[in-house]
Amino acid sequence: MKFFKLAGLSLVAGVAALGMDISNGNLTSAATAQEATLTLDQVLAAVRRERNEVSQENQERESRFLQQRNQQQNLLNQARNQVAAAEAESTRLEGVMDANQVTIDDLDAQLADRQGEFQELFGAARTAAADLNAQLQGSIISAQFPGRGETLRELAQTEKLPSEDQLRDLWEIMIQQISEQGKTAAFPARIVQANGQADDATITRIGPFVAFENNRFLTYEDESLQFLARQPRSDYTGAASRVANASGTGFVRGAIDPTLGQLLSLEVAKPTITERIDQGRFIGKVIIGAALFGIALGVYKWVTLTMTAGAVRGQVRKKKASKSNPLGRVMLAYENTSSNDVETVALKLDDAILKEVPKLETGLNLVKVLAATAPLLGLLGTVIGMINTFQAITLFGTGDPQIMAGGISEALVTTVLGLIAAIPLLLLHSFASGASKRVSQILEEQAAGIIAEHAEGGRR
């Protein structure tokens, strides 16, 4: 230690001498050297102090670790003792359990021996209770008589011998279910609305088949009554209304679902006309638009031609010509040329008839074109729908039929719409064209008669 101290003093002396050379022997250099010497001593003392503190802290930490090691060893010994005690208790309990199992087996054997044939009877009772409970859970009759399933569930799940009261309850519930299946009843109940709220109402029930309120059909699910998501056709709801409003004796025609709700659910699942039209997409709407326009035009032409034919037949019975009908205009054309020869009169009458025929046939060709175009549009929609179907098959395969349903629906619906549009258009074109031909025939017949009369008059 002295060696390092002397070395430090020598270093300080050298620094002091250097400082005196630079500052030409100024006294300030000696003071600076003395301050530097004090600072280094303090650093050395601080290092020694820190080393002693660290050493003392390490000793304390080592002491704590030794103490904790002894404590951990004690805890380990305690845990081992507890495990050994638990294993001994487990062995004891296993022996008790084995002994209890032997006792249980002996008691089961005694019970089976004492029950004898009654064991099969009670097993049949449990099976019947389970089956009847499953039937009651989905039966509309349970909405009128709630709580019947508790007794049946208890009887079906019990491992004990059924009591006399339980057997009587099973018999009574079964007889009640059989009796109520042949009745039509009205009873108060709560209906769960679409928003989750429950309202009180008077329900009309026809056996276990259907139930309705205010001519709206209900379903019984999860022990609650709910309205069908979509009501069936008006003839079904009308039948429900007749049954609900029936009074006195006599028969009332109603509607039942012998499948206990399955047919109603299928009826509700059927798409409406609007949904069918939407399945046809753009092509279907084009077909409907063309059909409506063609039907309106065909009806208009049929009506006007029928009225024109009536006016022409009325003109046949009159001698005075009128401008309000084609025959009258043809007769006026004859009156203007009656002084000419027969050939001129014939030409004038032919010209007058030719002027009237286009007026009669105006629009008929358009109806015919629309009647021929509608099936072609349906075929176009069919091809587009099949293309969409094959694209879906390419992308997703054939595992999910619902993916292909859109294209198939479009294909079939457009075909149906095209045929539905073409049939009335063809009929209207046929009727209107027949009326037009009848008028043209009358005009030609009357023109021929006029020419013949004119020729006879010229000979005289």
Per-residue pLDDT tens, the chain, 460 aa: give them.
333 333 333 333 333 333 334 344 443 444 444 444 558 888 888 888 888 888 888 888 888 777 777 777 788 888 888 898 899 999 889 989 999 999 988 887 877 776 666 667 777 888 888 888 888 888 888 888 888 888 888 888 877 777 788 888 888 888 988 888 888 888 888 888 777 777 888 888 888 888 888 778 888 887 788 888 777 877 778 878 878 777 766 677 877 778 887 787 777 777 777 777 777 788 888 888 888 999 998 888 888 888 877 777 777 777 776 676 777 677 777 777 766 677 777 777 777 777 777 777 788 888 889 888 888 888 888 888 788 777 777 777 666 666 666 667 777 888 888 888 899 899 988 888 888 888 788 777 777 777 777 676 654 4
Residue pair 193/213 in contact by the 8 Å Cβ criterion: no
Question: How confident is the model at residue 30, as a pLDDT?
Answer: 41
Tokens of 208: 């276990």
The confidence score (pLDDT) of residue 402 equals: 65
Predicted pLDDT of residue 404: 65
Residues 6+ away with beta carbon under 8 Å from 302 = 428, 431, 432, 435
The DSSP-derived string for 45-113 is HHHHHHHHHHHHHHHHHHHHHHHHHHHHHHHHHHHHHHHHHHHHHHHHHHHHHHHHHHHHHHHHHHHHH
| Domain assignments of the chain as residue spans, ordered by start | 2-90, 117-181, 184-265, 278-459
CA distance 311 to 154: 87
The reported pLDDT for the residue numbered 115 is 61
At residue 4, the pLDDT reads 35
Q: Which two tokens stand for residue 299?
A: 């009806």
N residues, the chain = 460
pLDDT of residue 116: 62
